[in-house]
Amino acid sequence: MISDNIRRRADGVLTFAGHSVPALAEQYGTPLYLMDEARIRRNCRIYLDTFRECFGTQALPLFAGKAASYKQIYRIVNEEGMGIDAVSVGEIHTALQAGFPADRIFFHGDGKTDADIRYAVTHRVGYFIVDNPEELQQLAEEAALQGIVQKVLLRITPGIDPHTYKALTTGIVDVKFGVPLETGQALAFVHRALSYPSLSVLGLHCHIGSQVFDESVFEDSVDVMTGFMAKLKEDFGFETKMLNVGGGYGVRYVDTDKQIDIPARIRRVAGRLKARAEELGLALPFFLMEPGRSIVADAGMTVYTVSSVKRIPGYKYYVVVDGSMADNPRYCLYGAQYTVLHADREPELYAVYDLAGRCCESGDIIQPAVKLPEDTRRGDHIAVCTTGAYNYSMASNYNRLARPPVVMLTAEGSYLAVRRETIEDLCALDL
Ligand code: LLP
């Protein structure tokens, strides 16, 4: 199986986190997002334990809430002792509602408005990761107005290509995020940041991309960033106390994807950082990473019910389900691959189908060319694996479809983390 929390019983029924998938579909209805709570916790601990081993107390992994943002997730990652990366007041509000401590929130984003900045300063969010000089100016004014000194990291674009989907590449020079090193603008950015008495500049941030498998991307980041840290020390006498190298480790969606050994990778990054700090005469900075996908992706599964099966002789076969690009837009957006399984039985004969959604456009394909039983029919349950990251969080109400619920699975049973939207919810904002 693509993930070891997915099994098939002897009678052919698919299980996820030890629970029968068809039984969950009956209990909660479909489309349905399932989340394996133990897996989320395990994935957090991989980062927490390896960070502790490498850096003692001088490191913290931040869960990137953009991958999955709702109160129960923030409760779980808080219980595990993670910090979080938030990209909007919506994410911050959700985390605060879940009791997440504001001082472990790092506020990201390239488009923070004056109102966003005011909200986050008012709620005493621990750290801003400042993307651009305009934000710096506005934040400095707001912090001064509220009589506080705001802790900040500065987002730098190191000029590294992670070789992932183009839309997920963020570390090359020509992107909308951060301030580039190559052009000299980053140096000016830090210089300017240091001039504001209402800001305490603790360090630097970079993020290279997402769904990254390349071996050495993070070591390359460390090389570039420590080089820049040395320059800051030399030019401004500035000591970088925190270094955040972002998120991005890739996860397995299909059998041909590699399995990344995250502890081994982190140990190598830590080793490189320590070596470079020593070589350059720098104090070892507090170390941060921002994993999103690798915390929640393999904790998720989406379950659908088949509405129709179209076999067009000489052309294609389609399985149409009760979900769509509205609950999983990732194939439409990125050509993302998924493993798709029949949840009710192990077939003797397979056919190849496009798994299509119910939206009114031909492009609404959840996954092309998947192998499903030859006799797949209306009422069958279909599971799309590894949907814990960037599925619920990117879901929309396109075609006025109600978003599915998120059900959390535990050893004891299951509980609703997010209830199903109703058609009344869909009109809740209409006047
Ligand atoms: N930090 C920053 C600044 C980021 O921009 C991201 C992801 C992360 C951390 C977390 O990266 P992760 O560990 O999850 O790879 N919607 C796309 C993914 C967009 C990623 C955006 N930034 C998808 O569905 O694949």
pLDDT score of 174: 80
Question: If pLDDT is split at 50, 70 and 90, which confidence band does 172 have?
Answer: confident
pLDDT tens-digit profile of 54-109? 999 999 999 999 999 999 999 999 999 999 999 999 999 999 999 999 999 999 99
Residue 413 Cα to ligand 1 midpoint, Å, equals 30
The DSSP element (H or E) to which 365 belongs, if any, is strand 365-373
pLDDT tens-digit profile of 116-165? 999 999 999 999 999 999 999 999 999 999 999 999 999 999 998 877 77
Q: Is 404 in the pocket of ligand 1 (CB under 6 A)?
A: no
Residue 78 Cα to ligand 1 midpoint, Å, equals 20
Q: Using CA positions, which residue lies closest to atom 19 of ligand 1? A: 168
Q: What is the mean pLDDT of the chain?
A: 96
Q: Is 155 in the pocket of ligand 1 (CB under 6 A)?
A: no
- Which whole-number Å values give the CA distances from 228 to 34, 110, 206, in the listed order? 43, 21, 12
Q: Which residues contact 147 (CB under 8 A, 6 or more apart)?
A: none
- Over residues 249-264, mean pLDDT: 97
Q: Is 390 in the pocket of ligand 1 (CB under 6 A)?
A: yes
- Which whole-number Å values give the CA distances from 408 to 85, 246, 248, in the listed order? 22, 27, 24
Burial 214-249 (b: 16+ CB within 10 A, else e): beebbbbbbbbbbebbbbbbeeeebebbbbbbbbbb
Characterize the bridge pairing of strands 105-107 and 83-86: parallel
Phi and psi dihedrals of 194, rounded to 5?
-70, -15
pLDDT score of 206: 96
The DSSP element (H or E) to which 26 belongs, if any, is helix 21-28
- Over residues 286-297, mean pLDDT: 98
Best residue for ligand 1 mutational test, from 43, 44, 66 (most atoms within 8 Å of Cβ): 66
pLDDT at 166 over 80: no
Q: Using CA positions, which residue lies closest to atom 24 of ligand 1? A: 390
Q: Is 210 in the pocket of ligand 1 (CB under 6 A)?
A: yes
- Over residues 236-261, mean pLDDT: 97
Question: If pLDDT is split at 50, 70 and 90, which confidence band does 348 have?
Answer: confident
Strands (E), 181-247: 199-205, 242-244
Residue 209 Cα to ligand 1 midpoint, Å, equals 7
Phi and psi dihedrals of 260, rounded to 5?
-80, 135
Q: 0.85 cut: is pTM over it? A: yes
Q: Using CA positions, which residue lies closest to atom 8 of ligand 1? A: 247
Tokens of 210: 């997402």
Is 206 labeled as catalytic in the residue annotation? no
pLDDT tens-digit profile of 26-43? 999 999 999 999 999 999
Question: If pLDDT is split at 50, 70 and 90, which confidence band does 169 have?
Answer: confident
The DSSP element (H or E) to which 44 belongs, if any, is helix 37-55
Tokens of 374: 């030859």
Helical packing angle, 114-122 and 89-97, nearest 10°: 20
